[in-house]
């Protein structure tokens, strides 16, 4: 039998060392649990980084992949293939946008959205090209999306950054208005809730006010829903949590493929400006990944998984607030649905994540003083209670 140490030696020898990996060698998942090479079970409250919204190895997704693998895996988008179509229909029928293009990742989705914005600026705004984004955002790791991402840690090693993006404060409408330049600004791109930035929730009217300003200036209002989409924060799409908000352009990935690499950018009809030859992707809309995505999306919609996430998230936040009452170093619990952060006044998040591993819990230190939780949306209350018990045990040590 190949041991965990054998696998780690192979990784050390052959894989580019760009990730500080956690110790378990994970080989199988089922629902909210994963199992390592030695047979140990873990509650997975990372869900593949907010990807596995209906859990590991969901039977509907597994069956769809198995079935599609026996038919056709990949064809050029020059030809019609069928799995794209039911997924496209579910997304459009349940949102306020009209057209979709499938790609492979969140970064690619955001790149595509920015191409839409740039063409909008070129054809409608006398060549305007600049896109306003915010500090503490995260839009991807391509050269362009690092410029869009308003975090120095993702930018400073790669300067000079690509031109065409300006970063301003999040949750500050005036900052966007001040950054707008007529004839230069073509769009604003925001996350409804900043995930990688620390689960930052905007004020109630922020998105609506930004949208209204964009429409006043005839620039595009674009929402990066890579992390908040597909039910994560209590509605199918995150913008639906905010009254009167509709994106002109929206991006999706992560949970869209339920583990298969799949992204998308979607537009309203009025700004669907891309024409044949303007954009493309060899694997975009791949038959296998869209089959998985369609199966997952059907489960999420038919079983009202977003409402379950809303209810379970409220229960989870209540339990976390109980820990906050017990430990005075916990300063805030915040989130929507099952995208939740626990903030502390001590930089013990990394130690807490490490200590939780042998106890059988996978969580994420999104900041040195902050833990992020993003479990599958169909995690049970018993699993929430189990995670809370482990976290309680661990915090008693790391916070001492």
pTM of the entire predicted model:
0.96
Mean pLDDT, rounded, for 26-30:
97
Our answer to whether residue 302 is catalytic in this structure is no
Our answer to whether residue 254 is catalytic in this structure is yes
Is 65 inside any structural domain? Answer: no
**Do 312 and 283 reside in the same domain of the chain?**
no
Edge-to-edge strands, sheet with 339-344 = 330-336, 339-344, 370-373, 364-367
**Do 324 and 392 reside in the same domain of the chain?**
yes
**Do 107 and 255 reside in the same domain of the chain?**
yes
Is 211 inside any structural domain? Answer: yes
**Do 338 and 381 reside in the same domain of the chain?**
yes
Range of the domain at 45: 4-57+305-398
Which residue bears the tokens 């909008």?
120
Q: Which among 45, 101, 102, 138 is annotated as catalytic?
A: 138
Q: Which of 246, 268, 302 is the last residue of a domain?
A: 302
**Do 310 and 294 reside in the same domain of the chain?**
no
**Do 37 and 117 reside in the same domain of the chain?**
no
The tens digit of pLDDT for each residue in 173-209 reads: 999 999 999 999 999 999 999 999 999 999 999 999 9
Number of domains comprising the chain: 2
**Do 197 and 267 reside in the same domain of the chain?**
yes
The tens digit of pLDDT for each residue in 54-70 reads: 999 999 999 999 999 99
Mean pLDDT, rounded, for 263-281:
97
Is 93 inside any structural domain? Answer: yes
The Cα–Cα gap between 26 and 248 comes to 40
The tens digit of pLDDT for each residue in 314-341 reads: 999 999 999 999 999 999 999 999 999 9
**Do 244 and 208 reside in the same domain of the chain?**
yes
- CATH code, domain carrying 14: 3.90.1150.10
Is 67 inside any structural domain? Answer: no
pLDDT over 90 (residue 1): no
**Do 294 and 315 reside in the same domain of the chain?**
no
| Structure confidence at residue 157 (pLDDT) | 92
Q: Which of 244, 275, 302 is the last residue of a domain?
A: 302
Q: Which among 119, 208, 254, 310 is annotated as catalytic?
A: 254
Our answer to whether residue 138 is catalytic in this structure is yes
Is 62 inside any structural domain? Answer: no
- CATH code, domain carrying 145: 3.40.640.10
**Do 258 and 281 reside in the same domain of the chain?**
yes
Is 352 inside any structural domain? Answer: yes
**Do 246 and 142 reside in the same domain of the chain?**
yes
Mean pLDDT, rounded, for 228-239:
98
Q: Which of 302, 322, 343 is the last residue of a domain?
A: 302
| Structure confidence at residue 8 (pLDDT) | 93
Is 66 inside any structural domain? Answer: no
Q: Which among 44, 209, 224, 248 is annotated as catalytic?
A: 224
Is 63 inside any structural domain? Answer: no
**Do 269 and 352 reside in the same domain of the chain?**
no
Mean pLDDT, rounded, for 287-303:
98
């Amino acid at each position: 039998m190949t041991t965990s140490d054998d696998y780690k030696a192979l990784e050390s020898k052959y894989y580019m060392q760009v990730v500080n990996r956690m110790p378990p060698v994970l080989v199988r998942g089922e629902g909210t649990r994963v199992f390592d090479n030695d047979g140990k079970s873990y509650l997975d409250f990372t869900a593949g980084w907010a990807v596995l919204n209906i859990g590991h190895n969901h039977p509907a997704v597994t069956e769809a992949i198995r079935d599609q693998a026996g038919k056709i895996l990949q064809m050029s988008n020059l030809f019609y293939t069928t799995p794209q179509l039911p997924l496209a229909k579910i997304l459009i029928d349940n949102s306020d946008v009209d057209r979709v293009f499938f790609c492979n990742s969140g970064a690619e989705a955001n790149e595509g959205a920015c191409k839409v914005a740039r063409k909008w600026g070129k054809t409608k705004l006398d060549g305007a090209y600049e896109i306003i984004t915010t500090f503490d955002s995260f839009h991807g790791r391509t050269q362009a999306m690092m410029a869009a991402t308003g975090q120095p840690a993702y930018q400073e090693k790669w300067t000079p950054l690509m031109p065409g993006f300006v970063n301003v404060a999040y949750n500050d409408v005036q900052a966007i208005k001040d950054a707008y330049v007529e004839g230069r600004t073509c769009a604003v791109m925001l996350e409804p809730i900043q995930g990688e930035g620390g689960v930052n929730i905007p004020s109630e009217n922020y998105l609506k006010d930004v949208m209204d300003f964009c429409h006043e200036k005839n620039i595009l209002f674009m929402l990066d829903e890579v992390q908040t989409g597909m039910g994560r924060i209590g509605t199918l799409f995150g913008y639906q949590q905010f009254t009167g908000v509709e994106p002109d352009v929206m991006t999706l990935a992560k949970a869209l493929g339920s583990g298969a690499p799949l992204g998308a950018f979607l537009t309203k009809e009025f700004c669907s400006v891309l024409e044949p030859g303007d954009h493309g992707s060899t694997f975009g809309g791949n038959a296998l990944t869209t089959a998985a995505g369609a199966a997952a999306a059907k489960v999420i919609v038919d079983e009202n998984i977003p409402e379950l996430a809303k209810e379970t998230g409220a229960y989870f936040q209540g339990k976390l607030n109980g820990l906050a009452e017990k430990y005075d170093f916990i300063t805030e619990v915040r989130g929507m649905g099952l995208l939740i952060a626990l903030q502390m006044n001590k930089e013990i998040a990394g130690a807490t994540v490490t200590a939780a591993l042998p106890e059988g819990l996978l969580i994420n230190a999104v900041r040195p003083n902050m833990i992020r939780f993003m479990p599958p949306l169909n995690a049970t209350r018993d699993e929430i209670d189990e995670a809370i018990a482990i976290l309680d045990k661990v915090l008693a040590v790391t916070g001492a």
